[in-house]
Structure 1
Amino acid sequence: MNIEQVASLERGQKLPLQRDVDAIAIPFGKTETLAEDSVVSVMQAKGSSVSVGFEGRLFLIEGRNLDALGLEPLPRPTLPESASDEEIEQFVWEQLRTCFDPEIPVNIVDLGLVYGCRLERLISGERMVTIRMTLTAPGCGMGDVIAADARNKILGAPQINKVHTEIVFSPPWSRDMMSDEAKLELGMF
């Protein structure tokens, strides 16, 4: 199964879980286990993750766990050991483009939420990625979920040992930060 097939899932579609699965609770960003045979409803299927509803709550199931929904799991993204810093940074941006606000069908890069990405080598020799991002509003509760999703995807590269997500509100987000594709998707032209 590829990302296009994930996107073919329909909103409201009910799926029984084929096994226990760790899912990220929305908006808290904490991992919880959903039990096998629980029936979940698809809320949004974008990128490499599926947002589902279960017992009045929302959860994010990552691509590597899609077998719990009866689908083929997506391999965890990775890079060759010999990847350069430029290739690693490109990988990070690619992974950020697979992260979606669970309530908005546009990736966080095109939505204009990511202000920057910095790759650093620590004294220990480990590499750390720092992502500077914002939210659509200071009171938005999705920051922890988006940060957890990004962190989990980026840590698929063996060259990256740590991911730090810095949430900032200066400058404040506005729709002018969205790409033209995002505006078109959301009907904001």
Structure 2
Amino acid sequence: MGETPLEQRCWQALRDVADPEFPVSVVDMGLIYGIRESDGTVKVTMTYTAVSCACMEWIEQDIRNRLLREPGVKEVQIEVVWDPPWTVERLSEEGRQKLKRWGVSSR
């Protein structure tokens, strides 16, 4: 089943939410595993680069705040999963390039 127009807009909106440590969006970092919407409730499935990430609450609040600005979004639910674990292979090409410019090698 394909994504709804609202789900597509949410993916795009999350490109505005950057990882606090690097200027890379949570989408380009590969932290967002899925977005589903039903009756205005957007469910985001995501992970973090490490279980001990100190920025979890900030990132989740930024995600909520950004998605709630999208027309049609009434509620945001976030599910954090650890399986599959995040790896550098989840980085988008844009994310890899930005990290490289910051002197962080993704390989």
Does TM, normalized by the shorter one, top 0.5?
yes
Cα distance between partner residues in 1 of 2:63 and 2:26: 10
Structure 2 residue 98 is matched with structure 1 residue 185:
yes
- Is residue 2:86 matched to residue 1:173? yes
Question: Which AA in structure 1 matches 2:17?
Answer: C
Aligned residue in 1 for 2:59: 146
- Structure possessing the higher relative contact order (Cα contacts under 8 Å, 6 or more residues apart): 2
Taking a change above 3 Å as real, the CA distance of residues 157 and 182 of structure 1, as seen in their structure-2 partners, is closer
- Give, in whole Å, the separation in 2 of the partners of 1:157 and 1:98: 12
Once the 2 structures are TM-superposed, how far is the Cα of residue 86 of structure 1 from its aligned partner? 2.5
Q: Which has the higher strand share?
A: 1
1:117 aligned onto 2:35: yes
Give the TM-score of the pair, scaled to structure 2: 0.86
Question: Following TM superposition, by how much is the alpha carbon of 1:87 offset from its aligned partner in structure 2, in angstroms?
Answer: 2.3
> Number of residues paired by the alignment?
100
Structure 2: runs of 5+ lacking an equivalent: 101-105
Which of 2, 5, 11 pairs up with 1:93?
A: 11
Residues 17-43 of structure 1 deviation map (CA, whole Å, 9 limit, x = unaligned): xxxxxxxxxxxxxxxxxxxxxxxxxxx
Q: After superposition, where does 1:28-43 map in structure 2 within 5 Å? A: none
Give me the whole-angstrom Cα distance separating, in 2, the residues matched to 1:116 and 1:152: 18
CA distance in 1, matches of 2:46, 2:6: 19
More helix by share: 2
Structure whose CA Rg is larger: 1
In 2: Cα distance, 1:119 partner to 1:147 partner: 17
- State the 1:169 CA deviation: 0.8
Q: 1:156 pairs with 69, 72, 76, which one?
A: 69
Identity %: 38
Q: Give the letter aligned to residue 5 of structure 2.
A: E
Report the equivalent of 1:78: none
TM-score relative to the length of structure 1: 0.50
Per-residue deviation, 1:101: 1.1
